[in-house]
Chain A
Amino acid sequence: MTEPHTGSAQTGSAHSGSKAGWPLYEVFVRPRRGLNHVHVGSLHAADDRMALLAARDLYTRRNEGVSLWVVRSDAITASTPDERDPFFEPSGDKVYRHPTFYDIPEDVPHI
């Protein structure tokens, strides 16, 4: 497997600041209670608080969320530079992990 990668999860580049010196942040929105936070995009900000305010203005102008996370891109450890890495191979050959692997007679109820 390739080395786990810390840096911009988006570009895979260790360089995640801009020339102006504002680091890159990744933004996660929880659309409503009961759902997970989902990655929606990224932005540049000077610090965490500014990132949160900018994320609100940029990604939740139309009630898209009830909660926001922002995290510096260079703090994310990502799996692979290539999205079909052998890293995920162990899950590929275990068909018995899926319920459809098992034949159960049709007349057995509730299973």
Chain B
Amino acid sequence: MVTAEVAEAIPAQTPEDRFEAVVAAEQRIEPRDWMPDAYRATLIRQIAQHAHSEIIGMQPEGNWLTRAPSLRRKAILLAKAQDEAGHGLYLYAAAETLGVDRAELTEKLISGRQKYSSIFNYPTLTFADVGVIGWLVDGAAICNQVPLCRCSYGPYARAMVRICKEESFHQRQGYELLMTLMRGTEAQRRMVQDAVDRWWWPSLMMFGPSDADSPNSARSMAWRIKRHSNDELRRRFVDMTVPQAEHLGVTLPDPELRWNEERGGWDFGEPDWSELNRVIRGQGPCNAQRIDRRRAAHEDGAWVREAAVAYAAKRAAEQSHTEEENGK
């Protein structure tokens, strides 16, 4: 009798009261419910940014698709890139339930009016980067995304459930790739360490600025869009990752990394926030290249979209003609 309990717990009042009550009762807000304008705007911004990250995120690894060292690695990498495209589509669909149009979001991405995760503005220099992206970048994404499965907005939460199930494959294939390299030659082990050195700090920056500099966090937490603060998620990621690094036999490039007996967790150094700000402002190593590539793909694909519409219209016309003939 869940419905009866809800009806009692949430008395009919103003739409605002009802919204607050649904959120407080850990229920989900659904597309056609009343919601504050700022809640809608926050979700559109966050979900669009998330969708853009999945789509742009195909590029750094896509760089290695034609150069994967074996058919097995190539098939895995293709499947992973296809998953990222799928994640982008789930998320664009979730954003559309808030009344925006996917074409409009794509336009905002390629014109630089909406952002994507800063991590994808770094280059993938060796094949070890593919493994480290799976292990660290997807690992950090999992830390961020698991709590989003309980986000107060239904369509976003449901998209995240699907995504989280698939991310686990991404992280494990990366770690396995690195274990294979670590069992290889000295040069291969150096390649892994070099990739870890380059990706460690950018991965920590994926959680966003420190709590003191994250002005919108409190409101998102009150709305139960966000469940944990940036710093809390970052700590969780470090605690999860340090033993994995030890097992792999790599060194995380942070001299301040040490076990804190009192807290039962790892203490670590402060990321270089000026670097994060530079990358967000568009001055990362690959910002221009990523957006150019996305724009070119969008523009080069225009004829396909137009042809599909023309074909559908032609088929529909043929069909109605046949029906008329048969009706005579």
Contacts and interface: CB of A to CB of B under 8 A. Distances in A.
Contacts of B102: 18, 44
Interface string B45-87: 0000000000000000000000000000000000100110010
B89 A58 contact: yes
A11 B104 contact: no
Given A10-B155, A82-B34, A47 B96 contact: no
Nearest to B315: A47
Given A12-B32, A83-B32, A20 B90 contact: no
B308 A81 contact: no
Nearest to B1: A98
Interface SS of chain B: helix
B86 A50 contact: no
Contacts, number: 74
Nearest to B94: A41
Contacts of A24: 96
Interface residues of A, number: 28
Interface residues of B, number: 37
Contacts of B44: none
B275 interface: no
A46 B93 contact: no
Interface in B227-250: none
Given A11-B97, A12-B31, A92-B7, A20 B86 contact: no
Contact of B104 (A19, A22, A58): A19
A62 B83 CA distance: 11
B101 interface: yes
A24 B305 CA distance: 14
B31 A61 contact: no
A47 B311 contact: yes
B309 to A, nearest CB: 5
Nearest to B311: A46
Nearest to B100: A11
Interface of B: 1, 4, 7, 10, 12, 18, 30-34, 79, 82-83, 86, 89-90, 93, 96-99, 101-104, 155, 158-159, 166, 305, 308-309, 311-312, 315-316
Interface of A: 10-13, 18-22, 24, 41-44, 46-47, 50, 57-58, 61-62, 80-84, 92, 98
5 contacts: A42-B96, A46-B305, A61-B79, A61-B82, A84-B12
